[in-house]
Amino acid sequence: MGAHELHEDRDSDLAAAARAELVRVIEASGAWDSDPVWREAFEAVPRHLFVPYYYAGAVTGRQRLWGESPDRVTRERWLRGAYADAPLATRVRDGELVSSSSQPSLMAAMLAELKVEDGHNVLEIGAGTGYNAALLAHRLGDEHVTTVDLDPEITESARRHLAAAGHHPVVVTGDGARGVPERGPFDRIIATCTLTSVPRAWLAQCRPGARILTPFATGLVALTVRDAEHAEGRFLHTSAYFVPLRGASTPEPEIPHLGAVPARTREHELFRFLLALTQGSLAPQEAYALWEREGRPVRERYGITVSGDREWAWLDEPTGPYAWPLPTT
- For residue 12, the model assigns a pLDDT of 82
Q: Which pLDDT band, with edges at 50, 70 and 90, does 329 fall under?
A: low
Long-range contacts at 272-278 (CB < 8 A, ≥ 24 apart): 272/218, 273/217, 273/218, 273/219, 273/239, 273/299, 273/302, 274/302, 276/217, 276/218, 277/216, 277/217, 277/219, 277/302, 277/313, 277/324, 278/313, 278/324
H or E segment to which residue 314 belongs? strand 310-315
The pLDDT confidence band at residue 244, using thresholds 50, 70 and 90, is confident
- Asked whether residue 264 carries a pLDDT value surpassing 70, the answer given is no
**Four-CA torsion 247, 104, 218, 205, nearest 10 degrees:** 40
Q: What does the pLDDT read at residue 306? A: 97
Over range 262-268, report the average pLDDT: 47
Q: Do 217 and 272 lie in a common domain? A: no
Q: From 307, 293, 295, 302, select the one nearest 320 (Cα to Cα).
A: 302
Query: Does the pLDDT value for residue 54 go beyond 70?
Result: yes
Residue 58: its pLDDT value, please? Answer: 53
Find the catalytic residue in 29, 34, 69, 99. 99
Say yes or no to pLDDT of 176 above 90.
yes
For range 134-141, the mean pLDDT: 98
What pLDDT does 13 receive?
A: 86
The reply to whether 34 belongs to the active site is no
pLDDT of residue 111: 97
Are 206 and 59 within one domain?
A: yes
Residue partners of 127: CB distance under 8 A and separation at least 6: 133, 147, 148, 149, 154, 155, 158, 171
253 part of a folded domain: no
Residue 220 and residue 292 in one domain = no
Q: Examine the domain organization and report whether 163 and 291 are in the same domain.
A: no
Indicate whether 77 pLDDT > 50: yes
Instruction: Indicate if 48 and 148 belong to the same structural domain.
Output: yes
Is there a domain that residue 147 lies in?
yes
What's the confidence (pLDDT) of residue 6? 42
Task: State yes or no: pLDDT of 254 exceeds 50.
Answer: no
The per-residue pLDDT for 5 is: 47
DSSP at 286: H
> How many structural domains comprise the chain?
2
Q: What pLDDT score was predicted for residue 70?
A: 86
What's the rounded mean pLDDT across residues 75-87? 93
**96 lies in some domain:** yes
pLDDT for 241 equals 86
Q: What's 32's domain CATH number?
A: 3.40.50.150
Mean pLDDT computed over 272-297:
92
Which of 273, 243, 52, 265 has the alpha carbon at shortest distance from 164? 52
Q: Is the model more confident about 308 or about 96? A: 308
Per-residue confidence (pLDDT) for residue 262, from 0 to 100: 40
Residues 181 and 293 in one domain: no
In this prediction, residues 105-116 reach a mean pLDDT of 96
Mean pLDDT of 18-30: 96
How far apart are the C-alpha atoms of 72 and 78, rounded to whole Å? 10
Predicted local distance difference test score (pLDDT) of residue 252: 44
User: What angle in degrees, to the nearest 10, is found between the helix axes of 104-114 and 131-140?
Assistant: 40
pLDDT of 147 higher than 50: yes
Considering the domain boundaries, does residue 256 fall inside one?
A: no
- Which of these, 203, 201, 236, 232, lies nearest to 218 by C-alpha position? 236
The letter for the amino acid at 81 is G
- The parent domain of residue 68 ranges over 3-239
Crossing angle for the helix pair 152-164 and 131-140, to the nearest 10 degrees: 50
pLDDT at 62: 67
Domain limit, last residue, from 190, 223, 239: 239
Most confident of 67-81, 85-99, 172-186: 172-186
Q: What does pLDDT average to over the chain?
A: 88
1: pLDDT strictly greater than 80: no
| Cα–Cα distance measured from residue 158 to residue 176, given in angstroms and rounded to the nearest whole number | 15
Residues 124 and 272 in one domain: no
Q: What pLDDT score was predicted for residue 133? A: 98
Residues 125 and 205 in one domain: yes
- Residue 34 falls inside a structural domain: yes
Dist CA 185 CA 253 (whole Å): 28
Mean pLDDT of 294-314: 96
Same domain? 98 vs 235: yes
Give the pLDDT confidence score for residue 8 in this predicted structure.
57
Does residue 61 have a pLDDT over 80?
Answer: no
Query: Quick check: 218 pLDDT over 80?
Result: yes
Residue 3 has pLDDT above 50, yes or no: no
pLDDT band at 266 (very low <50, low <70, confident <90, very high): very low
Q: Which is more confident, 92 or 290?
A: 290
> With 70 as the cut, is the pLDDT of residue 308 above it?
yes
The three-state DSSP-derived secondary structure of 226-249 is EECCEEEEEEEEEECCCCECCCCC
